[in-house]
Amino acid sequence: MRRLVLCAAASLALYFAAFAFVLHRPLSVGLLRMEMDRKLARGARLASPKLVVLAGSNAPFSHSCRVIGAMLGLPCENGGVAVGIGLDDLFARWGPLLHRGDSVYLPIEIQQYDITAAQNRMDMDGAWLFYRNRALLWHLGALRVLAGAFGSTMPDGLEALAEMAAHAAGLGHRRAMLAAQFDREGDRIGTTLATADPGFLATLHRIEPGPRAIADGYGARETARFVRRLSARGVIVIGGLPTDFDTVRLPEADIVAIRRIFTRHGGHFVELPDRSRYPRADFYNSEDHLAQPCQYLHSIAVARALGPLLDRAVRPPSAAMRALAATCPSARMTIAARVE
């Protein structure tokens, strides 16, 4: 029995040591981690007042800080990375960088509001924090530590070994990949309509959570705490709707539930006339990811809506921004309708 206990203890120690100090995935998770680190570093350097856009991948794919910041005359950082990075993690990193007079816009994916605490603990960021940032993991709580410590499996270890070997061999140049995919404001670029995948987009069908699930979700509670904390410090917090297909049903009760997460805790809420819903032809490879011309079209509308809440004069978009936005299928449809 004693030998069995010793073997089990040694196995656990080896497991923890391997995933805490050795095994990691530099070409997949590591790319997201580098993206997050770069965005945080740029955000920390921005002078106040500044604007930060936070969500999952809906932020960088469907929103352009280059457009919104230029139209509002504010330095802007697009801080979103991906759904799967817990909101508690995202808020813990960005909260200290936001100061009185700064603004944060949160077009959070609706499915993030109704996530449970258990699902949040099992997000992919737990394992990377266990390897790279155990201090932050401890800050997020003991249950997060346990989930991060035990969140890796044998297949994860094998994938880590393969990625480490490929990276050591010079494959996968992460800095070049990030430079090709993101601009200096953290926006996703290069998502042209010509390289979109309409066949795949046609297969996507998502049902949004109901108002009770949204209001009672762990993500909603985390967001409410973030809104309260920042609003008390003089940060302007504004919620918004994420982009999605115009065929996805979004009841008024859902919007009310989301709005209350912000307005009941000292924040504000913006709802565009089209509720941030667009035809599938406007998207790149997901319900959350507009193609870049449509990212610009949507961002122009967002900037115009944010201006009054931020007490900022809204400048017209540049000719180049207008020209790219005009190639979005929605923009062409609108122009055609006006001509007819």
- pLDDT of 15: 81
Spell out where 132-265 has E strands.
236-240, 244-245
Structural domain span for residue 327: 24-339
pTM: 0.93
- In a domain? residue 332: yes
What is the CA 105 to chain-centroid distance, rounded? 11
* Domain membership flag for residue 14: no
In a domain, 9, yes or no: no
Among 124-128, 189-193, 263-267, 278-282, the minimum mean pLDDT is found in 124-128
> How confident is the model at residue 123, as a pLDDT?
83
Q: Which one is predicted more confidently, 331 or 99? A: 99
Higher pLDDT residue, 274 or 24? Answer: 274
The pLDDT value recorded for residue 236 is 98
Nearest to 71 by CA among 338, 270, 321, 323: 321
* % of the chain surpassing 70 pLDDT: 97
**pLDDT at res. 337:** 43
List of residues 6+ apart from 298 with CB closer than 8 A: 62, 63, 243, 276, 278, 290
Residue 18 placed within a domain:
no
Report the candidate in 262, 264, 219, 212 with the shortest Cα–Cα distance to residue 240.
Answer: 262
* Residue 8 forms part of a structural domain: no
Geometric angle at alpha carbon 127, from 122 and 131, rounded to 5°: 160
- Is 119 in a helix, a strand, or coil? helix
Mean pLDDT of 271-280: 96
- Reported confidence tier of residue 126, pLDDT bands at 50, 70, 90: confident
Q: For residues 192 and 207, give the distance between their C-alpha atoms in angstroms, rounded to a whole number.
A: 27
pLDDT at 336 over 60: no
The residue type found at 202 is A
**Residue 316: cis peptide before it, omega within 30 degrees of 0:** no
Inform me whether the pLDDT recorded for 199 exceeds 50.
Answer: yes
Burial of 120 (0-12, 13-18, 19+ CB in 10 A): buried
Residue 4 lies in a domain: no
8 vs 73: CA distance, rounded Å: 60
- In whole numbers, what is the pLDDT of the chain averaged over residues? 91
For 22-76, the DSSP string reads I---TTTHHHHHHHHHHHHHHHHHSPSS-EEE-SSTHHHHH--HHHHHHHHT--E
- Total domains in the fold of the chain: 1
pLDDT score for 215:
95
Position 13 scores a pLDDT of 79
Q: Quick check: helix, strand or coil at residue 278?
A: strand
The tens digit of pLDDT for each residue in 290-302 reads 999 999 999 999 9
Within a domain: 121: yes
pLDDT computed for residue 339 by the predictor? 29
Confidence class for position 333, pLDDT limits 50, 70, 90? low
Model confidence pLDDT, tens digit, residues 206-256:
888 899 999 999 999 999 999 999 999 999 999 999 999 999 889 999 999
Name which residue leads in pLDDT, 5 or 177: 177
Residue 164 has pLDDT above 90, yes or no: no
- The first and second tokens of residue 263, run together, are 């307005």
Burial class (CB in 10 A: 0-12, 13-18, 19+), 187: buried
Residue matched to tokens 């909101």: 87
Q: How far apart are the first and last CA of the chain?
A: 84
Helix H or strand E segment including 77 = strand 76-78
pLDDT-above-90 percentage for the chain: 66
Higher pLDDT, 76 or 127: 76
pLDDT at 27 over 70: yes
Per-residue pLDDT band at 308 (split at 50, 70, 90):
very high
Specify if 90 maps to a domain.
Answer: yes
What pLDDT shows up at residue 334?
A: 59
Tell whether the model's pLDDT for residue 83 goes beyond 50.
yes
Say if residue 96's pLDDT is above 90.
yes
Residue type, 64: S
